[in-house]
Amino acid sequence: MRKSKEKLFTLISTLPPLVGISSYTVGLLKELDKMESGEVFSFRKLYPSFLFPGEQYDYSSQIPEFRNIDVYRIIDWCNPVTWILPALKMESGILHLQWWSPATGQVYLPLIAAARVRKKRIVITVHNVMPHEGNPLYKVIWKMITGKGDAYIVHSEKNREELLNLFPEIIEKPVEIIHHGIEVRRRIDRKEARKTLRLPESSMIVLFFGTVRKYKGLDLLIRAFSKVRGDLFLLVAGKPWIEVEEFRQLAEKVGVTERVRFDFRLIPEKEVVYYFSAADLVVLPYLWFSSQSGVASLAVGYGIPLIVSNAGGLVDFAHPEAVFETGDEEELAGLLQRFYDDESYRRQLQRDVEKKREMFSYHRAAEKTVKFYQRLMKL
């Protein structure tokens, strides 16, 4: 229950237009709404798509309704006047930025400066300790924004260590670990899902889901998959940010064309349930990563076991025996073969994912966030 009508927090994110961060924001806000009063300033228009050619925005979704949280959709990436409006209008003592893309840097810099004038505390949730792509300009922007908080939220202990190594100047500031929330989702009948997607009915299906980007290691997965013996099928689904013909050529080269399906497109939200309901296993073979993963959260939410590399915070979502060394093709192939051959191993991973569904709930994330806000207000 809300303790008073005084707003505890002001959060900056995007509701719609929808991008990857939107589902996290909505999941967290739904739980915060049950506990405290606050406000959200959302983008009404995001950065141009040419800055991130693979990213697409969904402007059609409805903004969720909250009882105790006011929503203002006023920030326009192309209109500098709107960049400082949240700082001028905010009613709480905490400005909480969701920091997910270097393209928002030009908005956040003046916004933070304006909030400082009003003596507001700045909290930054650092979703990626450094940007996924290695553009030097992006790294400069990342460092400019990340160092300007009064307090920080990261999603794993590994992310905390990386953050403090990269920004030793913030070592005396509060850095809270609050895991990426999990929304428990219901699967549909597996047979129905596979029939709808025209997938093999009896094969063990391995799913690679999400945007296809260089750092995600799809080529590594294809090579490892080719070494696994048995009735397995690899399903790749997601919008490409890079040229994808090389993956088709690689599948042909290693002889798995008949056992791989590429759905290189943005998967609409209403279709996501079919992909996860059809899958036996989700694999995230990321080559480098400094965050937790929305795809991993989806997999756990649907109760699907994962095999992951030890990049970034991925290890938090998988059983220790389902984690392989980043870039190690042979180790990944071995884990895939074990998953296919060993029923007790599959049961072990299934039990583990069920525990994580509870451990990483949005309710727990919201509870920790509120306690962090309250501590900051006393400093």
User: Is pLDDT larger for residue 122 or for residue 3?
Assistant: 122
Tokens of 170: 């913030």
Amino acid at 290: S
Element (H, E) at 157: helix 157-166
At residue 86, the 3 state secondary structure works out as: helix
Task: Judge whether residue 268 has pLDDT over 90.
Answer: no
Paired tokens of 190: 């597996």
- Amino acid letter, 127: H
- Over range 120-132, report the average pLDDT: 85
Cα–Cα separations (whole angstroms), residue 289 to 215, 221, 227, 278 = 7, 16, 25, 27
Q: How sure is the predictor about 2, in pLDDT bands with cuts at 50, 70 and 90? A: very low
| Percent of the chain's residues with pLDDT above 90 | 67
pLDDT at residue 3 in the model: 44
Domain ranges of the chain: 9-181+361-378, 190-359
Q: At CA 299, angle to CA 132 and CA 283, rounded to 5?
A: 60
CATH superfamily of 9-181+361-378: Glycogen Phosphorylase B; (3.40.50.2000)
> What is the C-alpha separation between 332 and 224, in angstroms, rounded?
6
Tokens 């450094």: give the residue.
Answer: 130
What does the mean pLDDT of the chain come to? 90
Q: Please tell me the distance from the alpha carbon of residue 84 to that of residue 236, in angstroms, as a whole number.
A: 41
- In this prediction, residues 100-125 reach a mean pLDDT of 93
Specify the CATH superfamily of domain 190-359.
Glycogen Phosphorylase B; (3.40.50.2000)
Cβ-proximal residues to 100 (8 Å cutoff; 6+ apart), any chain: 19, 20, 21, 127, 128
- The average pLDDT across 82-101 equals 95
The pLDDT, as a whole number, for residue 1 is: 39
Task: Find residue 151's DSSP bridge partners.
Answer: 123
pLDDT at 292: 65
Give the whole-angstrom CA distance, residue 315 versus residue 312: 7
Question: Look-up: residue for tokens 């389902």?
Answer: 322
Strand order through the sheet with 151-154: 69-76, 38-45, 9-13, 94-99, 121-126, 151-154, 175-177
What are the distances in angstroms from CA 322 to CA 10, 285, 308, 319, 329? 39, 11, 7, 5, 14
How far apart, in Å, are the Cα atoms of 191 and each of 18, 58, 90, 279? 31, 30, 50, 11
Per-residue pLDDT, 7 = 96
User: What is the C-alpha R_g of the chain?
Assistant: 21
Q: Residue 57: which pLDDT band, with cuts at 50, 70 and 90? A: low
* Tens digit of each residue's pLDDT (9 = 90 or more) over 294-323: 899 899 999 999 999 998 778 889 999 999
* Residue 52 in this model has a pLDDT that exceeds 80: no
**Torsion angle, alpha carbons of 237, 239, 242, 248, to 10:** 30
| Mean pLDDT calculated for residue range 151-165 | 89
- Residue 339: its pLDDT value, please? 98
Q: Minimal CA–CA distance to 201: which of 189, 213, 212?
A: 189
Task: Give 44 or 373, the one with higher predicted confidence.
Answer: 373
pLDDT (tens digit per residue) in 13-31: 988 766 678 888 999 999 9
